[in-house]
Structure 1
Amino acid sequence: VAEVLSKLLIIFVVGISVREPCAEQLGPTPSDQVRKIPLQTRGMGAKTTLFQSLPSSETGLDFMPQFPQEAPFRLLTDQAAGCGICIGDFDLDGNPDVYLTHYDRGNRLYRNMGDWRFVDVTDQAGVGGKGRWCAGAVFTDIDNDGDLDLFVCAFNAPNLLYINEGQGRFRERARDHGLDFSGASVMMTFADYDLDGDMDGYLVTHRLNTGRMAKLPKSSKEAFQRGLIQVNPQRQASIGPRYRELFETMSKGPGRVELFIAGQRDYLYRNDGSGRFTVVNDPAGITGNHIGLAATWWDYNEDGFPDLYVSNDYRGPDQLWHNNGNGTFRDVANTALPYLPWSSMGADLGDIDNDGHTDFFAADMRGSTAARRKTSLDDMRKDKWFLEFARPRQSRRNMLYRNTGTGRLMEIAHLTGLAATDWTWTPKFGDYDNDGRIDLFIANGMTRDFMNLDASTTGPSAR
């Protein structure tokens, strides 16, 4: 024991006898001449603002989105998205330019001249929209020539693809590239999902109103008479071929199904390398006829292959398409995500906790006050079945998915105060105050409160 204690004492004494010199004892070194000036966080006081609104008279951005006073009723009921916006440096001068779409007044391309000044170059560029009702737009390099081309979604008309020819000019060539789909297009999102070096695309679609065919039947008898529902020898119900982009069914238990409105199918386009696109839904495993509003590429499991989150409105569930790495996908929303939004409007991704994993926000419509939530409650007489039988589970609120790095996501919207943000459309993550942490900007609002049960069921306005 004495021998062991003596060794411990020696170790202890040696340990306290070796001391690092303090900074004052060290001589000057070249590194002492380097100055550290930390970035200052912008102030958040009562008289401090992070942004300044610039009038159009100064910027030249005089675009004014406005729904026409007179329009076909189908556009009021089924036009999912109105105006769109995309930003990109189409002329390679180092300044981001702005492209905006409109319902019926033509689209606008504004060239950035620097110093927050923009010039309308729509006519010179030839990207006015050809008189179509346009929605989402996106800049991307379709033909891999180093400059940005422009894809524009049109409603119930062929989509537009403007190929950048340089010198500020574009040529419309959607048909040549296989991208001239005509239907309820909402937006296109591009990514190289098969990692072959060129951009592929996913087209989100909504619903087309086709008159009487699109009306829900009043009884099961009517549904069978119209051929809307078919039953096979195994007594399994399905939608008739003519109605598959208008209605969906959901099981309510053995021998019972519920019918509800659906949308057109979305389209997955594969680029063959020459800029020619082919629809590959069937071989890729992409299914569903939901009423889509947005789609976001997101490598949720961090395997290097872009996966895809699709935001669907109404009762159609959001989908998380897992990229299998061999050109096929499978929907893993039911296993990877604990809950889904009910009426998903838009989404964005960002690392909210700086842990190196990309998190995800999906927007829905939930009032930020008790009064707002009460007046926008769903009709439980009609929707009870949906809450009981829907799979995956859907809830009328925003969802914030924290990426655990395991392939499964934690839903933490309530914990972060982001579950209820009113009538939320497009969310955008960004470090808006330069403090090193991701912030969230949300576009909100509507022209008429259709969700207000008091306003929609009483009084003359209910007619």
Structure 2
Amino acid sequence: MRLIHPDSLAFALLAGTLPVPAAAQQFVEAPGMLAGKRWSEGVECVDVDNDGDLDLVFADGEGFSSAGAKRQNKLAINMLVETGSLSFVTESVARLGGLKSNGKGVTSGDVNGDGYVDLLFLNAFNTDTPFLYINRGASQPGFFDMKSATNGFTVPMSSAGAMFGDLDDDGDLDLILCDSGASFLSGSGGKPHLYFNDGAGVFTENAAALGAPTKKAHMDVQLADVDGDWDLDFIGLNRATNSGGNHYLMLNDGTGQFTDASTLLPNTSGSVYEAEVGDLDGDTDHDLFFVSLSGFQEGHVQNELVETGSLSFKSGSPQSGSVDDNEIALLDYDSDGDYDIIVGSLGSTERLYRNDGGLNFSLQSGAIQGISDSTLDAAIGDLDNDGDYDLITAQGESNSSQWNNKVFLNNGPADNLPPVVVATRSP
């Protein structure tokens, strides 16, 4: 679900493809895989211990519009390689330490170039700084040291999303994270933060390079090359209406200096928690699929760069229905070469929409086992190493009887389509 910029020696734009269709229910819950009820706001699927299977990281903490109880973030270690069968052992305190926070999200990346993934937890309500955990690497893989204070994160903020990416083309992972301000969902708002990495995982903020205006209720960060100039641009999604465009669109000049182009994005409803970026129509530029494009109806926004020769966006018709949804995930579930859509719902069951390649999305009723729960985030990954992509959901906020985070195993055939390389560039 996360996009990381390749190194500067060669750049390939890949259209990934995932699993094949099933005539009946394709994603089936594995009950009890993640035991214990808790309020989880975010989930990341990543191999923290470099053993060849994907582990699960959850950002935990309570509070919707104001701070609730601080909680310990969770790290569930996949025991597939060790035991031969899929199971998870929670080792949060042993591997992360005992810090608690109002966690709202988590992202990952190898920030110091040692070949081991590091973690960044996003905390809300100005109660804590972001928590940067550096993997101990070869000496103790999958065990982490908290390095926020020494590595550049010293100011509390109210953040729900972030993404790593090489923004200045120097070969290491930089960072943009959102900051909604002290009131989180209301008040005067805040500005996103841009941090440049020195290559050793030490970050320095450069607000002038980003130059982002203040907006309310910033919820999500996406990095993608939306204008086709071979660098990562910044899209920020906001749960509010804002002047100068509801959302952020900041275009990168290739050196990490950004220009505000937010008015190019269509205005949406004021209930957007997320949009995902990907090529939805096969024309090689990056489109978006929004939660709450119009009211509580999700829908797509088409990038018309290829069609018109200049960067512009057009809203499609929203999907039918009106459900309070929180999460979008992209995957090619029917292996036809285009991205389909999974929607994680706070008030209903998860849904899957099939893309026909022409931006027509049809609901695949029953493709995901129907459980009415309170999904706040979702991740896609092959947990059981069978060649198809499974679904993990993070639960919280409402319907507390369903506050068990869930694993839905994909029973479809393995992915057998190669990626499509649409362009390459060398220095």
Higher share in helix: 1
8 Å CA contact retained: 1:153, 1:187:
yes
Tell me which of 11, 33, 54 is aligned to 1:96. Answer: 54
CA contact (8 A) 2:291 2:328 kept: yes
Which of 94, 108, 131 lines up with 1:160 in the alignment?
Answer: 131
Q: Distance in 2 between matches of 1:325 and 1:365?
A: 30
Question: In the alignment, which residue of structure 2 is the partner of 1:121?
Answer: 91
Say yes or no: does 1:142 pair with 2:111: yes
Q: Partners of 2:154 and 2:321 in 1: how far apart?
A: 38
> Partners of 1:307 and 1:126 in 2: how far apart?
32
* Aligned position for 2:27: 51
Which residue matches 1:213? none
Q: Which has the higher contact order (CA 8 A, sep 6+)?
A: 2
Matched, 1:186 2:160: yes
Range moving further from structure 2, 401-410 or 175-184: 401-410
Q: Secondary structure at the match of 1:425?
A: strand
TM norm structure 1 = 0.62
Q: 1:299 aligns with which of 201, 225, 233?
A: 225
SS in 2 for 1:123: helix
For residues 172 and 41 of structure 1, do their structure 2 counterparts lie closer, same or farther at Cα, with a shift above 3 Å needed? Answer: closer
**Cα 1:295/1:419, change in 2 over 3 Å:** farther
Q: Is the 8 A contact 1:322 1:331 kept in 2?
A: yes
Once the two structures are TM-superposed, the CA of residue 397 in structure 1 deviates from its matched residue by: 6.4
- Equivalence map 1:28-427=2 (5 Å): 41-44=20-23, 48-56=24-32, 59=33, 61-66=34-39, 83-103=41-61, 104-114=70-80, 115-128=85-98, 130-155=99-124, 156-166=127-137, 167=140, 168-209=142-183, 261-316=187-242, 317-334=246-263, 336-364=264-292, 366=294, 398-405=299-306, 406-414=309-317, 418=319, 422-427=323-328
- 2:250–2:261 Cα contact (<8 Å) kept: yes
* Pairwise CA distance, 1:50: 1.0
Q: Aligned to 1:435, which of 329, 336, 339?
A: 336
Question: What residue identity is the alignment partner of 2:270?
Answer: W
Query: Equivalent pairs: percent with the same residue?
Result: 26
Contact 1:84-1:136 at 8 Å conserved across structures: yes
Q: Secondary structure at the match of 2:254?
A: coil
Whichever residue aligns with residue 131 of structure 2, its letter is L
Contact 1:270 1:277 in 2 (8 A): yes
Whether the 8 Å contact between 1:281 and 1:287 is mirrored in structure 2 is no
Structure 1, unmatched stretches of 5+, are 1-38, 67-81, 210-244, 247-259, 369-395, 449-463
Q: Which has the higher strand share?
A: 2
Shift of 1:105: 3.5
Offset at residue 427 of structure 1 (A): 0.7
CA distance in 2, matches of 1:366, 1:274: 43
Q: Distance in 1 between matches of 2:321 and 2:155?
A: 36
Larger Rg: 1
Could you say what secondary structure the match of 2:212 adopts? coil
One-letter amino acid of the structure 2 residue matched with residue 160 of structure 1: F
Q: Is the 8 A contact 1:41 1:434 kept in 2?
A: yes
**1:281: how far off?**
1.1
SS of 1:330's equivalent in the other structure is strand
Q: 1:284 to 1:123 in 2, by over 3 A?
A: closer
Kept in 1: contact 2:268–2:294 (CA 8 A)? no
What residue in structure 1 maps to residue 359 of structure 2? none
Separation of aligned partners in 2, 1:431 and 1:283? 36
What is the alpha-carbon distance in structure 1 between the residues aligned to residue 312 and residue 322 of structure 2? 21
